[in-house]
Amino acid sequence: MTNRIPGWLALTLVAALLLSILPAAVLAAPATPVAQQSDAASDVLTPDALANMTYISELTPSGEATLVDGKYEDVDNRILVTLATAPIAYGTLDGQDAAAVLIVENGGGSGIFVNLAVVVDQEGTPVNVASTLLGDRVDVTSLAIEDDQVNLELIRQGPGDPMCCPTELARVSYTLDGDQLVAADETVLGQGPQVVVYEAPEGGMQITIVPPAPYEAGTAAMPTGAPLHTMVSFLGPDPTAAQSDGGPFLAVYPVDEYVQLWQDAGDATIADLVSGLQSTLDEQPATLAAPLPIVPPATGVDTAAQ
């Protein structure tokens, strides 16, 4: 089965494919760990307690969902509510020990609604005092409680994005005002390249947006660092692990930002690679010569063919 990719994207994907097969040390590691705070603010807000309590719900008829081992299911109404095991943040909000968690809801359709929920320690009992909807099929990449605010970064739908395929990275801060979470600040950090594949290969594929990583010389043979970019992996469950696992993948980078990131650090490696690739594309012949004859497959006893 073949992939039909829009013509406007062809050059970008060719460049990305050539970059992706360079030695692994040249490229930034695509996986960006989810940033979270792992130490509970009190003995009450334990992972077990957070997975077995009642949360505000946007979908249930009662407006609440009591989780058991991190899950609530209403088969008759096709409602599923789960607690994301990561990220989880701990800290202090309005003078109270608090935890910030993600509650994910589905009502039987394609929507996967992600809610930010704040749980506080009220006289020894964990209580979900406020929640707010972050979006449908968004991906929270970092979560923290700092300076009496809940700060998070997420990948959400940007201008022109379909609901299935968000590419915009944003940072949002919330304050707790009674039983409400109020957005105090919001900054768009960038938007990854949108990749459209009309026919997926038989083995399956996944598309993900990888947050930016700063340039670091590190101790490896080559430095790392890359801007916000899009990863497409094939024949594997996790696109961010495709490079380390040796699986086939495409990495679609905004070229100017990638070059600038390394040049600002005094490193011309990416600029040289892009220049070499452009020369190769410029020098390709207008017409290709006939291909060489294909040797028939060798059998186990066909020494001559081997």
> Is residue 196 left, alpha or beta, with left meaning phi > 0 and alpha meaning psi from -120 to 50?
beta
In a domain, 181, yes or no: no
At residue 105, φ and ψ (nearest 5 deg) are -125, 145
Whether a cis peptide bond, with omega within 30° of 0, leads into 87 is yes
| C-beta of residue 52 within 8 angstroms of C-beta of residue 68 | yes
Is residue 192 classed exposed, middle or buried when 0-12, 13-18 and 19+ CB atoms within 10 A define those classes? Answer: buried
In a shared domain, residues 93 and 145 = yes
Note down pLDDT in tens along the chain; length 306 residues.
Answer: 333 333 333 334 344 443 443 333 233 333 344 555 556 667 899 999 999 999 999 999 999 999 999 999 999 999 999 999 999 999 999 999 999 999 999 999 999 999 999 999 999 999 999 999 999 999 999 999 999 999 999 999 998 888 888 889 999 999 999 999 999 999 998 888 877 777 777 767 777 888 888 999 876 678 889 998 888 887 666 656 666 777 778 888 889 999 999 999 999 999 999 999 888 888 888 887 777 777 666 665 555 444
In a domain, 79, yes or no: yes
In a domain, 248, yes or no: yes
In a shared domain, residues 253 and 276 = yes
> Is residue 242 left, alpha or beta, with left meaning phi > 0 and alpha meaning psi from -120 to 50?
alpha
AA letter at 305:
A
Quick one: which of 68, 24, 91, 64 has its CA closest to 244? Answer: 24
In a shared domain, residues 106 and 122 = yes
In a shared domain, residues 63 and 10 = no
Domain span at 228? 1-32+192-283
**Residues 6+ positions from 202 with CB-CB distance below 8 Å:** 1
In a domain, 12, yes or no: yes
In a shared domain, residues 233 and 247 = yes
In a domain, 185, yes or no: no
Give CA–CA dist 142/154, Å, rounded. 7
In a shared domain, residues 19 and 57 = no
Cα-to-chain-centroid distance, residue 216: 21
State how many domains the chain has: 2
In a domain, 118, yes or no: yes
In a shared domain, residues 151 and 201 = no
Looking at residue 20, its pLDDT comes to: 40
